[in-house]
Amino acid sequence: MADVQRETLEVDVLIVGGGPAGLSAALRLSQLQQEKGGEPLSIAVLEKAREAGAHMLSGAVLDPSTLRDLIPDFKEKGAPLAAEVHDEDVYFFTESSKLAFPIIPPPLRNHGNYVISLNQFVRWLTGQVEAAGVDFFTGFAGQDILMDGARVRGVRTGDRGIDKHGQSKPTFEPGVDILAKVTIFCDGVRGNLTKELHRRLQLGGREHPPQFAIGLKELWEVPRDRLKPGTVIHTLGYPLKHEEFGGAFIYAMPEGQLSIGFVVGLDYKDPLFDPHMAFNRFKQHPFMTSLLEGGQMIRYGAKALPEGGWNTIPRVYMDGALIAGDAGNFLNSMRLKGIHLAMRTGMLAAETAFDAVRAGDTSAAVLKAYKDRIDRSAVRDELYPVRNVHQAFGYGLLPGMAFAGLAVATHGWLPEDLHGHPGHDRMKMLSWYYGTRDVPIDKPSNATAVDRKLTFDKVTNVHFSGTSHDEDQPSHLLVHTEICSSICGPEYGHPCTRFCPANVYEITHEADGTPRLQINASNCVHCKTCDIMDPYQVITWVPPEGGGPQYNGM
């Protein structure tokens, strides 16, 4: 297919990803245009989901500080803020009871924040962006970066109409080359293009590798008297062990809807641990059953989140490109918030890109102004003091919490920053963790009963994520070296079958009993966990041809 004719589109600023960061960048660019006049900039936004917001998944509690700056009259403009936070609790769970924290730790205080559905919020924000006249292309993913030496020239969207054997179908359409003076990468947590930029331009430091967690979420409808809308509950402890980082959230929305979710650090040691099972176990806690009894799970989703904080932010500027939002690891894992930081970095990236395009120089030297803006902004004020906290949790729950308290008290003073380890390196081999390779690997170590009412198997959950993909296309999960039966099975017991929250990876057996990896690519909810957590780093997630989850109301 080397000789296909590709269409080319040239714009001034290309934004890859229609989430909070990308949309804030687009809106800020059009505002600057309005304020400063002059030759109008051409702006395009690419979004892989077929509908705006369909791939958006978050808790979510929104800190409205950035929104207030971006759209001061957001209330008049009908921003869908489901409920203002009015009541909050933090509990430590044991297997059968809970202890309330006597005070709410300051980072978890949510007074003045809003419980939102990020899906609805992003749909609304997209409306604002489209009303400003920005071209918003849904259903198009950036597949490859177009580069000229070290300079980013734009991106190529994915080819369409290729069957599962790699042959062109009658509907074949080659991807489009979109060339831009500045490309702003907002492709989200572990973005496929940002990952490629890291590799080609060595954007991150070795001593501070990015850190991730996986978040699983369900939307429930329960009788309305269970929790008042605007109630925010966080839990720590059971069902996680002290060596596992994570916790849960329960956010009450209007009309008896509860967002419940479970976050687990993708740096757990037990190769037989299954985050999805941990979520099931969490729902079996007496406090949760009392909340969910008589209710119904109506939506499911999962997504990784960047938890490493300030020190793991890569170089976010280069010749012809900027990185914003989750793609640049802008998330405050102590506050469990990233939407406002994604929006803020999107705005700052837009301001930098606007100036650079106007000045006719979009080299890294000019675009470095983005980094300077971040350093002067609320982003640094918020992230720098807690820069070592997630890494401290690597030493266990209690040291992590003690350290978090200290960081808040001292504004993050520490003579030397803590180094992190890539999460996948911390996973132990069966022989190390269990003292023998001879452990049953067909069940997670934290397995619990599935009744398909309160607890679910992954396949049923995936159905409730609304995920669909055309089946007749090449797998978008590239396994570079098949080592499943030869190496990974004996060493780790096929952890992909457990860390994937959507049953994409399955080990089936040939007639002679040999394990064989079956990739159910059409189940994929685009969470990126496999790309992150595979201990051999041989899995690469690339965008499929259309499809993905449908996170209505999530």
Partner 1 sequence: MILVVAEQHEGKLNRATWEAIAAAQQLAGTAQQLAGGMPISVAVLGASTGGLGQELAAAAVAEVLVAENAALEPYTPDAYAAAVSAFIDSAKPAFVLLPHTYQTRDFAPLLAARIRKPLVTDVTGINGTGADATFTRPMFQGKLAAQVKPHGGSPAIITVQIGAFRADAVQKGGSAPVKKVDVQIDPSAIRQKPEAPFREAKQAVDLGQAERIVSVGRGIKSQENIALAEKLARAMGAEIAASRPICDNGWLPMERQIGSSGQTVAPKLYVALGISGAIQHLVGMKGSRTIVAINKDAEAPIFEVADYGIVGDLFEIAPALITELEKP
Which residues contact partner 1 by CB under 8 A? Answer: 298, 452, 459-460, 462-464, 466, 468-469, 471-472, 508, 511, 518, 520, 522, 552
Specify the residue, 492 or 551, whose C-beta has the smaller distance to partner 1.
551
Q: Is 148 in contact with 181 (CB distance < 8 Å)?
A: no
Strands annotated E in 355-440: none
The SS3 of residue 27 is helix
Amino acid, single-letter form, for residue 453: K
Min dist. Cβ of residue 446 to partner 1 (A): 20
Number of Cβ within a 10 Å radius of residue 552: 16
Min dist. Cβ of residue 53 to partner 1 (A): 15
Specify the residue, 396 or 515, whose C-beta has the smaller distance to partner 1.
515
Q: Is 52 in contact with 122 (CB distance < 8 Å)?
A: yes
Min dist. Cβ of residue 519 to partner 1 (A): 9
DSSP 539: E
Min dist. Cβ of residue 551 to partner 1 (A): 12
Min dist. Cβ of residue 464 to partner 1 (A): 7
Specify the residue, 169 or 224, whose C-beta has the smaller distance to partner 1.
169
446 token code pair: 């934290």
Number of Cβ within a 10 Å radius of residue 414: 14
Min dist. Cβ of residue 511 to partner 1 (A): 5
Contacts for 537 with CB less than 8 Å, ≥ 6 apart? 424
Specify the residue, 464 or 536, whose C-beta has the smaller distance to partner 1.
464
The residue whose two tokens read 């400003």 is 132
Specify the residue, 228 or 509, whose C-beta has the smaller distance to partner 1.
509
Min dist. Cβ of residue 349 to partner 1 (A): 35
Min dist. Cβ of residue 521 to partner 1 (A): 9
Distance (Å, whole) CA 474 – CA 87: 48
Helix (H) or strand (E) holding 88: strand 87-93
Distance (Å, whole) CA 283 – CA 293: 10
Specify the residue, 183 or 522, whose C-beta has the smaller distance to partner 1.
522
283 token code pair: 């729902």
Distance (Å, whole) CA 272 – CA 440: 9
The SS3 of residue 442 is coil
Strands annotated E in 369-451: none
8 bridge partner residues: 177
* Alpha-carbon dihedral 265, 270, 272, 276, rounded to 10 degrees: -20
Region for residue 246 given its phi and psi (left: phi exceeds 0; alpha: psi -120 to 50; beta: otherwise): left
Min dist. Cβ of residue 251 to partner 1 (A): 21
Strands annotated E in 396-525: 477-479, 505-509, 515-519
Specify the residue, 228 or 452, whose C-beta has the smaller distance to partner 1.
452
DSSP 516: E
DSSP 487: I
Specify the residue, 111 or 169, whose C-beta has the smaller distance to partner 1.
169
431 token code pair: 């022989």
Distance (Å, whole) CA 192 – CA 342: 17
Specify the residue, 10 or 506, whose C-beta has the smaller distance to partner 1.
506
- Which of 482, 539, 537 lies closest to 515 in space, CA to CA? 482
Amino acid, single-letter form, for residue 228: K
Min dist. Cβ of residue 49 to partner 1 (A): 16
Contacts for 158 with CB less than 8 Å, ≥ 6 apart? 140, 141, 143, 175, 543, 544, 545
Specify the residue, 342 or 504, whose C-beta has the smaller distance to partner 1.
504
Min dist. Cβ of residue 298 to partner 1 (A): 7
Specify the residue, 417 or 506, whose C-beta has the smaller distance to partner 1.
506
The SS3 of residue 135 is strand
The residue whose two tokens read 């069966």 is 430
Specify the residue, 436 or 508, whose C-beta has the smaller distance to partner 1.
508
The residue whose two tokens read 């500045």 is 182
Min dist. Cβ of residue 212 to partner 1 (A): 28
Specify the residue, 237 or 548, whose C-beta has the smaller distance to partner 1.
548
Min dist. Cβ of residue 460 to partner 1 (A): 5
